[in-house]
Amino acid sequence: MTDETGGSATIGTLEKGFGIIETVEELESATLTDVADEMGLARSTVHDYLTTLCDLEYLVKTDGEYQLGLTFTRLGTSATETVQLSDTITPYLERLADATGETVWFLVEECGRAVYLGHAEGDQAIKTEHSIGGRSYLHCHAGGKAILAQLPDERVEEIIDMHGLPEITEHTITSREALFEELERIRERNYAQNHSEQLAETRAVSAAIVVDDEVLGAISVGGPAHRLRGDRFETELPNQVMSVVNEIRINHRYS
């Protein structure tokens, strides 16, 4: 099988099946031919897969178009629930969003990437392009860097080996040295900043949630660079974020 990421999956049928599911996800709504063309497979083959997935209720067919079934909504809920804090974090996010007026995210690390799991928006919050379950790189993200700073160096190396340090904007950290220096600085201050490293004109402040040497995730506050600057960016927001994170840690210990 021609495979972009070189995954050495032993069971090709599963790879193909999920490939079809992800194709349907990207197209949002797709016909048999759409999927077959997109994946370069024979229509009869795709037909077998699609009917199977419909029988299993992972896809639904409406007016000749296939869509993701709501079984994924259930699995998504289950997957999210396996993450610690996921069920208790929302009030904290909302409080921080109210206090700062900006966009607040809760994110965790999985497979070397950041996954967005919760968010709240203050009254001045900018539109965010991310959604629950969305992913981004760790190295160009305040929350991502806050998490990396808490991981052992060899794990950080592993992650860099997996994903590299792709340059997302001109300010993205792209060398190992610079990244490790940055992580050291973050460890000293206990919070991380993002200076337009992921998206131009956008900044963020974040702190990791660490309980018993385990990194449970990070909380970040982000917004337009013209609002996040000076004392607010350097002192006020970091203190607000760290204060909430501290509260979460304490409450999590006794639960």
Partner DNA sequence: AAAAATCATCCGCCATCTCCGGAAAGACTC
Partner DNA sequence: GAGTCTTTCCGGAGATGGCGGATGATTTTT
The answer to whether 49 contacts a copy of itself (rule: CB under 8 A) is yes
What H or E segment, with its residue span, contains residue 158? Answer: helix 153-163
What H or E segment, with its residue span, contains residue 104? Answer: strand 103-110
Per-residue binding letters, 105-144, with a copy of itself (x by CB under 8 A): ---x-xx---x-x-------------xxxxx---------
Q: What is the DSSP letter of 30?
A: B
For residue 18, the partner it binds in a copy of itself, DNA, none, with Cβ less than 5 to 8 A by kind, is a copy of itself
Out of 13, 123, 129, 152, the residue judged to bind a copy of itself by CB under 8 A: 13
For residue 74, the partner it binds in DNA, a copy of itself, none, with Cβ less than 5 to 8 A by kind, is a copy of itself
* Neighbour count for residue 84 (Cβ, 10 Å): 16
Q: What is the DSSP letter of 11?
A: -
Write down how long the chain is: 255
- Work out the burial of residue 80: count CB atoms within 10 Å of its CB; fewer than 13 is exposed, 13-18 middle, 19 or more buried: middle
How far from each other are the two terminal CA atoms of the chain, in whole angstroms?
48
Out of 33, 42, 77, 98, the residue judged to bind a copy of itself by CB under 8 A: 77
Closest separation between CB of residue 16 and a copy of itself, Å?
A: 9
Contact positions vs a copy of itself (CB under 8 A): 7-11, 13-15, 17-18, 21, 25, 28-29, 48-49, 51-53, 55-58, 60, 67-83, 108, 110-111, 115, 117, 131-135
